[in-house]
Amino acid sequence: MDLPIDHFRLLGVSPSADAAAILHRLQTRCDAPPDQGFTHEALLKRNELLSRSADLLTDRDDRAEYESALIRLSASHPNETVGLDLPASSEVAGLILLWEAHGALEAFHMASNGLEPPQAPALGSGREADLTLLAALACRDAAVEEQGQRRYESAAQLLVEGIQLQQRMGKLPDQQRRLEGDLEALLPFRILDLISRDLSDQASHQQGLTLLDQLVSRRGGLDGTDFVTSVEGSGEGSGSMTQDDFESFFQQIRRFLTVQEQIDLFSGWSDEGEAEAGFLAVVALTAAGFSRRKPECLEQARDRLQLLPDSELDPKPLLGCLDLLLGNVREAEHHFAAIRDAEVQAWFLQHSGDDLAAQCEYCRAWLGRDVLPGYRDVDATAIDLDAWFADRDVQNYVERLDRQASRQSLNDALPLPWETPVASGLGLQSGEPISASEQSSEGLEEGLEERGMRLPSLSLPQLPRLPQLRLPQLPGPLMVKLAVLVAVLAAVGGGVSLMLRQRSDVLPVSPMVKQEPELPAPDDLDETALPLATLQPEQPLDRPIEPLTNDAPSEQQLEDLVQGWLNAKANALAGQTNAVPEAVSSQISTVARDRLLRRVQAERNADAALGRTKTIKASVTSVDVVSRTPRRIAVKAEVDYSDQTIDRSGTVVDQTPPGALTVTYVLGRDGKEWKLHEYISGS
């Protein structure tokens, strides 16, 4: 057997070591053999090889002759490694010493070859056991060495070979599990390695996208449970990826994905019921539409945004920006006026320009801060609203929307964006440049720090080998649940900080949903009108609502589920106590998610604190399926609705007269059951 190692390296001493140092090293090595489970025979052969090397290097004449031979071989074969000829009986011992001398890759390949025919050992022999164990240990160490060189895909392929070898041998299940754990922990690094390669290497790029999809699915979504791989004794090869780690990792890989790739990924995850992906799809569609002058993408983004079920997101600023870019000035004005954040509203009131100028400035900041950064093929600095509104394709598309929706009359009172110079609309005089502080993220961060806020760092301490490929210091769309910070601009008179969206301090009611459903009372409403008759629900409490489990529910089944929600909610709000009765809670849980039950409970608590009850009549007259996927269904329902709020004395303090309402209900599949996820009134 030709072992690619010399006597100095085999023994682990320097070529300049004297005899005393060599003998001391020999004693140390013999006293500390590897304890991973090699056979006694292999360890004895190992000590024998170490002693032979020490004997040669401590004999002056033999050492001088050996060193001369090394010099001659190095001169005649400069690119080759000097080796040792070993008898077949010393094969395992030599490979163990090669592995100990940090030759893990060579030891793995040679051990693997030794297990293949025709030199395969006899079944159940000590040689078979030793070579199988050595192959597993050397494979793991070789993969670690490859990771140290940031060759993550190469490391993964080594682990795959090692796993396949262990499966074939069927001897060491513990070692196989460790290799599998190392491969699992390596997945994020492989994705980054493959996706960051040049786009000309399409095979690697597509493989990276496939692995990314697998990682997200395995985690249970972008906001899924912690992805943890932990194998006892697996050491450096194992690791863990918490939610914070994943968000930082995802920020780093996004810049290597094109905008279309992100649209495809996020749309697919959103269709599977992933709320965070739905928001990311909105942002990616907006980036594609604005950068490529495709207003149809913005319309798709607006439609998706209106159906998002996340109750923690105030969609009004985003809808305002999208409607503004689509030329729907009146709707944009309504959305901006409905923003809940008092600070943002104050910013609009204090803006030195007119309303359209303030909206354009706000929109430009939103595009630059939250929309355009983070794509391989989008210029995040190209934020030119003048060019957008002057584009002929954009104007033609908006005019076509006007004709289809007959909304032109609504916009007649206000100039369209391209009818007013955007530069002057932003409060800048003709020819006056936008200052660098208005454009830079540093200026934005300073404004936030003045308010005691700091942008999160994108460092990744739990993944030390991840290349430091960082996006600008800003929170990505994945931070929706923590707060999405937006647009801090310097107006003409000085810098004013603002936020586009953030969590509300009020009860967790969806910003996309008005209190279902509520119509303004007419001016001539008789406040002393008698209470409405107590609602007799179509499904009384003694007849439980059956869960909807059909793979493809009919319209009648969808209508029954919505009616069950309305009946159960009406019973909950009509109660005389703070707590929602257990039977009613059970009915709500059958047809709706727990957060909607908590929302009803909060509304009942608020009424109970004021000594009030609600009497509601709500009946579904028709439903129309708007969209349908295997995991999500949106239906538009016509509802005959009326209600009264009554105080302790029986006096009507508020009421909604009978009327027809249109409500969009978004249903999702929780396991095998269809449940209500969100409802959107007036859409």
pLDDT at 606 over 90: no
Query: Side-chain half-sphere of 582: how many Cα atoms within 13 Å?
Result: 0
pLDDT higher for 551 or 494?
551
Q: For residue range 21-32, list pLDDT tens digits in order.
A: 999 999 999 999
- Whole-angstrom Cα distance, residue 284 to residue 30? 62
Q: Give pLDDT, residue 666.
A: 85
Instruction: Give the type of residue at 418.
Output: W
pLDDT at 314 over 90: no
In terms of Cα–Cα distance, which of 178, 188, 187, 198 is closest to 138?
178
DSSP string across 118-179: TSPPPTT-HHHHHHHHHHHHHHHHHHHHHHHTT-HHHHHHHHHHHHHHHHHH---HHHHHHH
pLDDT at 551 over 70: yes
pLDDT higher for 603 or 426?
603
At residue 588's C-alpha, the angle toward residues 582 and 589, to 5°, is: 85
DSSP string across 223-256: T-S-EEE--TT-GGG-EEE-HHHHHHHHHHHHTT
- Whole-angstrom Cα distance, residue 269 to residue 280? 10
Contact assessment for residue 130 and residue 42, using Cβ atoms and an 8 Å cutoff: yes
Q: Give pLDDT, residue 292.
A: 93
Please name the residue that has the structure tokens 């369209």: 416
Q: Give pLDDT, residue 453.
A: 34
Contact assessment for residue 598 and residue 569, using Cβ atoms and an 8 Å cutoff: no
Share the mean pLDDT of the chain: 77
In terms of Cα–Cα distance, which of 420, 310, 314, 324 is closest to 365?
324
pLDDT at 338 over 80: yes
Q: Give pLDDT, residue 548.
A: 92
Instruction: Give the type of residue at 332.
Output: A
Average pLDDT on 596-623 reads: 87
Instruction: Tell me which of 61-70, 275-284, 302-311, 607-616 is least confident.
Output: 302-311
pLDDT at 474 over 60: no
Place 168 in a pLDDT band, splitting at 50, 70 and 90.
very high
Strand, helix or coil for residue 627: strand
pLDDT at 372 over 70: yes
- Whole-angstrom Cα distance, residue 158 to residue 180? 11
Contact assessment for residue 56 and residue 91, using Cβ atoms and an 8 Å cutoff: no
Average pLDDT on 378-407 reads: 83
* H or E element in which residue 646 lies: strand 632-646
- Whole-angstrom Cα distance, residue 406 to residue 326? 14
Instruction: Tell me which of 449-458, 494-503, 591-600 is least confident.
Output: 494-503
pLDDT at 100 over 70: yes
Please name the residue that has the structure tokens 């008759």: 533
Instruction: Tell me which of 72-76, 100-104, 501-505 is least confident.
Output: 501-505
CATH numbers and ranges of domains, the chain: 2-191 (no CATH), 255-496 (no CATH), 555-681 (3.10.450.240)
Place 228 in a pLDDT band, splitting at 50, 70 and 90.
very low
Residues of the chain above pLDDT 90, percent:
41
Contact assessment for residue 463 and residue 189, using Cβ atoms and an 8 Å cutoff: yes
Cα 209 to the chain's mean position, in Å? 14
Instruction: Tell me which of 119-128, 223-232, 540-549 is least confident.
Output: 223-232
Pairing of strands 632-646, 652-670: antiparallel
- Whole-angstrom Cα distance, residue 683 to residue 231? 51
Cα 139 to the chain's mean position, in Å? 32
Place 596 in a pLDDT band, splitting at 50, 70 and 90.
confident
Average pLDDT on 81-100 reads: 90
The DSSP secondary-structure symbol of 1 reads -
Query: In the structure encoding, which two tokens stand for residue 583, read together?
Result: 């039977």
- Whole-angstrom Cα distance, residue 77 to residue 89? 28
- Whole-angstrom Cα distance, residue 152 to residue 156? 6
Instruction: Tell me which of 250-259, 297-306, 436-445, 628-637 is least confident.
Output: 436-445
Place 294 in a pLDDT band, splitting at 50, 70 and 90.
very high
Please name the residue that has the structure tokens 């700091």: 454
Q: Give pLDDT, residue 504.
A: 31
Question: Beta-carbon neighbour count of residue 248 at 10 Å?
Answer: 24
- Length of the chain equals 683
Give the chain's radius of gyration (CA, Å). Answer: 35
Average pLDDT on 137-166 reads: 94
pLDDT at 536 over 80: no
Instruction: Give the type of residue at 415.
Output: P
Across-strand partners of 665?
635, 679
Instruction: Please list, in sequence order, all residues whose beta carbon lies within 8 angstroms of the beta carbon of residue 555, skipping any fewer than 6 positions away.
Output: 623, 624, 625, 635
Question: Beta-carbon neighbour count of residue 466 at 10 Å?
Answer: 20
pLDDT higher for 302 or 416?
302
Residues of the chain above pLDDT 70, percent:
75
Q: For residue range 181-203, list pLDDT tens digits in order.
A: 999 999 999 999 999 988 889 99
Instruction: Please list, in sequence order, all residues whose beta carbon lies within 8 angstroms of the beta carbon of residue 500, skipping any fewer than 6 positions away.
Output: 317, 318, 344, 362, 366, 370, 484, 485, 486, 487
The DSSP secondary-structure symbol of 480 reads G
- Whole-angstrom Cα distance, residue 118 to residue 289? 62
pLDDT higher for 449 or 463?
449
Q: What pTM does this model have? A: 0.54
Task: State the burial class of residue 523 (Cβ atoms within 10 Å of its Cβ: 0-12, 13-18, 19+).
Answer: exposed
pLDDT higher for 680 or 615?
615
At residue 18's C-alpha, the angle toward residues 17 and 22, to 5°, is: 75
- Whole-angstrom Cα distance, residue 54 to residue 29? 11
Please tell me which of 82-96, 279-293, 541-555, 625-639 the model is most confident about, judged by mean pLDDT: 279-293
Query: In the structure encoding, which two tokens stand for residue 41, read together?
Result: 């025979």
